Amino acid sequence: MKSRKLSIPYIAWMVVFTMIPIVMIGLTAFRDKAGNFSLEPFAKAYDYRFVFLKSLWIALISTVICLILAYPLAYLLAKMKKSTQKTVQMLIMVPMWMNFLLRIYAWKILLQDSGPLDTALSLLGIHGSYIGNTAAVVVGMVYEYLPFMVLPIFTVMSKIDNNLIEAAQDLGSNGAAVFKKVIFPLSIPGVISGITMVFVPTASTFLVAEHLGGKDDTMIGDIIDKIFLTDPNTGSAISLILMVFILVFLILMNLFGDEEAIA
């Protein structure tokens, strides 16, 4: 009984700041401007289907790149001495102490025409534009969300019982076999939570594409940001669709995760 009483503040918080807003978005999404029931917001949302797909595409690429970068890093990190581990973990976290927008501005300056990257590459005789395209958006996303991929994988990996690794060696596994048969399968839960923690926010984020991307790189988060003040109904409808997509994605990830744990 005691534990139930303790949970009251959290339940109240969830109701006020999570449940009610979701219900309100749901209600708003099914109304026209006059406040009558209508599917019009969804019809308008349909106009943004390509933006929507592009957002998911950018989120997918960013997540995959994050995973490719983060997995070996997390693996090395888990193998380091405790003292080195702390330092490296700090270094991974430090950029996150800075404001999100500032980090994006920093990239904007780095990538802009005649910026440091452009200048350096020009000296080598390579000319080009590095901002205002999808790649720049992906770079920004990867930079923003890499720690969210590294940390869960690292946490899971560092919890792998060293005895299991010794047991695998004892049974005849060399280094590669230990990784393939023990470390990798046991790190899957970390990979799944990493993917979730990167994919979900990248799919719905805003400002990154606006600052680093070109005209065609507008993401759904930016659309919601723009449209909500003038047309909350359509904004709500897009949000709702995004939410459903993310929900489906999470369910799929969970299914995948459970299967991995059993197999």
Residues that bind another protein (CB under 8 A): 161, 163-164, 166-174, 177, 181-182, 185-186, 260-263
Amino acid at 181: K
Coil vs helix vs strand at 31 = strand
Q: Among residues 9 and 172, whose Cβ is nearest to another protein? A: 172
Q: In the complex, what is the shortest distance from the CB of residue 64 to another protein, in angstroms, rounded to a whole number?
A: 24
Q: Residue 163 is encoded by which pair of tokens? A: 């005895």
Residue 100 CA to residue 91 CA, distance in Å, equals: 17
Quick count: other Cβ atoms within 10 Å of Cβ 65?
Answer: 18
Q: In the complex, what is the shortest distance from the CB of residue 32 to another protein, in angstroms, rounded to a whole number?
A: 53
How many CA within 13 A on the CB side of residue 177? 9
Q: In the complex, what is the shortest distance from the CB of residue 153 to another protein, in angstroms, rounded to a whole number?
A: 16
Residue 56 CA to residue 107 CA, distance in Å, equals: 22
Amino acid at 202: T
Q: At what angle do helices 116-123 and 100-111 cross, to 10 degrees?
A: 30
Q: Among residues 74 and 242, whose Cβ is nearest to another protein? A: 74
Q: In the complex, what is the shortest distance from the CB of residue 81 to another protein, in angstroms, rounded to a whole number?
A: 14
In order of 54, 68, 202, the CA distances from 72 in angstroms are 28, 7, 22
Q: In the complex, what is the shortest distance from the CB of residue 262 to another protein, in angstroms, rounded to a whole number?
A: 7
Q: Among residues 29 and 156, whose Cβ is nearest to another protein? A: 156
Residues in the chain: 263
Q: Among residues 56 and 78, whose Cβ is nearest to another protein? A: 78
Q: Residue 128 is encoded by which pair of tokens? A: 């080009």
Q: Among residues 194 and 232, whose Cβ is nearest to another protein? A: 194
CA neighbor of 92 nearest in space, from 207, 208, 194, 221:
194
Residue 2 CA to residue 12 CA, distance in Å, equals: 17
Q: In the complex, what is the shortest distance from the CB of residue 176 to another protein, in angstroms, rounded to a whole number?
A: 11
Residue with tokens 């976290």: 93
Q: In the complex, what is the shortest distance from the CB of residue 89 to another protein, in angstroms, rounded to a whole number?
A: 25
In order of 90, 152, 154, the CA distances from 159 in angstroms are 19, 11, 8
